Amino acid sequence: MAIGDFDLKQRRINKSLVARRAREYVEKNPKLRGVANLYREIFSVQRRISQRIPDRLPHIEGALISSRLQEGQILLRPEEMEIDISVFMDVIREIGEVLAKRSESDPFGLQEFLQDELDEDLAKELVESYLTGDEDRFGSLMEGKSVSPELLLLLLHVSLAPFYWKAAGSLARQADLGQVPKGTCPVCGDLPIMGFIRAEDGLRVLECSRCGTRWGFPRMMCPFCLTTDQKSLSYIFSEEDPGHRVYLCEKCRKYIKVTQSYTGKDEELVLPLEDLATAHLDLAAEKKGYQRGCRTVFS
Amino acid sequence: MELSRRSFLKLSGAGIGVAALAQLGFTTPAYAADVELRIREAKESTTVCPYCSMGCSAIVSVQDGKIVGLEGLPDSPINRASLCSKGQSIIQVANNERRLKKVLYRAPGATDWEEKTWEEAIPAIARLIKDTRDATFVETEEITTKDATGNDVKTEVTANRCEGIAQLGGAALDNEECYLASKFARALGLVYIEHQARI
């Protein structure tokens, strides 16, 4: 291994791997069945629809990728995302149906939103305001809509993910993401789901909750406030589950979960499921007064 | 978590996913494993390997005041997580039944060691340094130069040099410690100042 070259491999997961892993997790903890199935079903839709999205690099390449990384800028700016709104409509409707199956009476207002309120014009505006973080515009668009903000955000997050996968996949292959001191994704700027410590060299790798990009992050740094004050950093673990750690930051009072001692191939580690399967550690950290700093795969 | 529609993008950070799942019936306790957890806390600190001159960094894990783990620091540009076999053994510097935890003193001519306190040891070491320095201090020395006609000329010049003590720095010292140690040595007039990193 050359100095500075961590040879970071991006995740490589597919429908059958996710299904197999979900079964394994559910066998260990049957309470996971519902939420693991929800992830599996959403992933299945995302994966299928992603095949309709062209696998092409956004407008940046080579030197621009390196200079943006060095300057701490995200590689994929919202205005550089190409969203085919007809494909987006398909994915949001299909995922909406997956969510709506959770209840017959539509208590979330999802059915009504998808059937009566959402058209291509609204979808386009929602996507644009969501991507650019235009809160006022987004707020106006949400006025009078039946669906709850949390669920709409979930829908947007998971429906845009396949577009991000495609764009980020091309960029991540060209960028050196072995050691990036950023707690948000260097490609799309979103928060991580959780991380893992690579068995071969102890590198801490985080995975983006939206585009799935993995990046190496310093071990002795908080991903959320970026402090390197070692007196403020610690971790907890459960004696019954030594394969996971929860890194705590005394400064910002946030935590991040990390898998360690994973013996399989890193590329096949399904962190969204790991995150769900380690919910007991979320509870333990929250009981100690720390707040979750990561997103979930759902938003 | 109840959010107003106008403000929810501001709050679209970490909590939203958990809140959305809860609306779908998946509260965290609903799917968290039912296990009695014995939670332990640990701290990680970085350190520098004290052996060779490379200055490799390591992470030391400490639980309940005891070192329980050691690994190379991936963040270090010097060793990028790797440690040589000797470096991997530095945990034994701390966790070792043969580690000296008290000052041992053997009097001149004695065959046995006796335990001393630091309160006794530090003044004794200072005394020895002072006595050795005073005994071996060279205030002036005679040097020989040539005059214009080529004849030897002897001159007395100031030396202020302690020749009876040498100082050797180690790899475990950081920059600032090395600075202080060498400053101290030069103040005593030492000229035999060396560091392991030059070896």
Distance CA A26, CA A20 (A): 10
Residue with tokens 């009078």: A144
Extract the tokens encoding B71: 């690994």
Q: Does A62 map to a domain?
A: yes
| Cβ-defined contact of A202 to B29 (cutoff 8 Å) | no
Question: Average pLDDT, stretch B165-175?
Answer: 87
pTM of structure: 0.85
Asked whether residue A219 falls in the same domain as residue A278, the answer is: yes
> Which among A187, A285, A199 is positioned nearest to A243, based on CA atoms?
A199
CB A206 within 8 A of CB A177: no
Chain A closest-CA separation from residue B36 CA (Å): 8
Of A31, A204, A240, the CB nearest to B38: A240
- Listed residues A139, A174, A209: the one ending a domain: A174
Chain A closest-CA separation from residue B196 CA (Å): 24
Provide the H-helix boundaries in A110-192. 110-112, 120-132, 135-142, 149-174
Distance CA A223, CA A209 (A): 14
| Cβ-defined contact of A230 to B73 (cutoff 8 Å) | no
Architecture of domain B43-94: 2-Layer Sandwich (3.30)
**Chain A residues touching residue B81 (CB < 8 angstroms):** 201-203
Asked whether residue A147 falls in the same domain as residue A273, the answer is: no
| Cβ-defined contact of B81 to A284 (cutoff 8 Å) | no
CB A261 within 8 A of CB A245: no
b/e sequence A235-264, b meaning 16+ C-beta within 10 Å: bbbbeebeebbbbbbeebebbbbbbbebee
Per CATH, domain B103-198 is 3.90.1150.10: no
Distance CA A146, CA A112 (A): 7
pLDDT tens for residues B94-123? 999 999 999 999 999 999 999 999 999 999
pLDDT confidence of A256, banded at 50, 70, 90? very high
Of B28, B38, B72, the CB nearest to A202: B72
Question: Average pLDDT, stretch B58-76?
Answer: 93
CB A276 within 8 A of CB A39: yes
Mean pLDDT of all residues belonging to chain A: 90
Asked whether residue A133 falls in the same domain as residue A54, the answer is: yes
Q: Does A223 map to a domain?
A: yes
- Listed residues A143, A174, A205: the one ending a domain: A174
Question: Average pLDDT, stretch A224-241?
Answer: 94
Residue of B nearest to A144 (CA): B5
Provide the H-helix boundaries in chain A. 15-28, 33-50, 62-70, 85-100, 110-112, 120-132, 135-142, 149-174, 271-277, 279-287
Within 8 A by CB and 6+ apart from B83, the residues are B49, B56, B58, B71, B72
CB pairs under 8 A between A and B: 183
Asked whether residue A204 falls in the same domain as residue A135, the answer is: no
Sign for the CA dihedral angle at B124, B129, B130, B136 comes to positive
pLDDT tens for residues A14-68? 999 999 999 999 999 999 999 999 999 999 999 999 999 987 665 666 788 888 8
Domain count, chain A: 2
Range of the domain at A202: 192-292
Q: Residue B135: helix, strand or coil by DSSP?
A: helix
Chain B closest-CA separation from residue A222 CA (Å): 12
Distance CA A168, CA B169 (A): 50
Chain B closest-CA separation from residue A236 CA (Å): 4
A269 vs A140, residue with greater confidence? A269
| Cβ-defined contact of A139 to B7 (cutoff 8 Å) | yes
Within 8 A by CB and 6+ apart from A170, the residues are A55, A56, A57, A58
